[in-house]
Copies of this chain bind each other. A is one copy, B any other.
């Protein structure tokens, strides 16, 4: 069973699951586990790991259109090294500060592999789900895509400083709050644009027609892409960018753009069915842990 099948099983077993985060009495809660071998390339600093692990959970809070209030983490490593722990905590606190949340501690343990489980909390009375997109809406993304894909290439190329810089993404909490009154559906792009569109399509029972030339590509992608095909892959299929993908009624785009503190790009239209890019079926491919 791969992770996607397992997640479907989990979602089926738990009515509250299947969105970016669960909501209990207005409290948003989401948890993620990251591992050194799959999530932190060689050269990732503990500061970056703390930022990125907590940031991934804060991104799920953002995707619900919620305010982020707090985060905790459980940290395990083969040995607990004081400087590493201090760096991790500094990164965890910095990303919380960046979105107005409070880092309130966690658990420490030894384990065979460096592993971080992060949990973020948020608050909202009107969460934005994945299931509200309607044909006639447009689909938008915040920021630019491919940042993590470029970061992975930077680490591969031995450019550790740039890799770390690209890996410390800004969670889009303020953008999610600003989009919440307008968006009909929203999620984060943690599995890549292509897979996010398929997930929104399934949850909302709609389709998408996306225009590749309208997809905003992160400038770092151009430094590492080997050709046009590779560039498109990096921007749409690698994922872990933690930008927001949302649908809006066309009439709401101007007001949403005004309210959102980052760029908001219209990349296509919501249709009755099928997920297409430039008229061709867009494969449901992205980042899957096997």
Contact = CB atoms under 8 A, between A and B. Distances in A.
Interface in A33-80: 33-35, 37-38, 69-70, 72-76, 79-80
A interface residue count range (under 10 / 10 to 19 / 20 to 34 / 35 or more): 35 or more
A72 B30 contact: yes
A76 B69 CA distance: 26
B76 A110 contact: no
Given A70-B29, A82-B1, A76 B35 contact: yes
Contact of A9 (B9, B85, B103, B109): B85
A80 B111 contact: no
A31 B112 contact: no
A255 interface: no
Contacts of A103: 14
A95 to B, nearest CB: 15
B17 A69 contact: no
A190 to B, nearest CB: 11
A239 B111 CA distance: 20
A85 B33 contact: no
A37 to B, nearest CB: 7
A76 B109 CA distance: 15
Contacts of A24: 69-70, 102, 104, 121
11 contacts: A3-B108, A7-B108, A10-B89, A27-B27, A29-B119, A30-B72, A31-B73, A34-B109, A38-B110, A74-B117, A121-B121
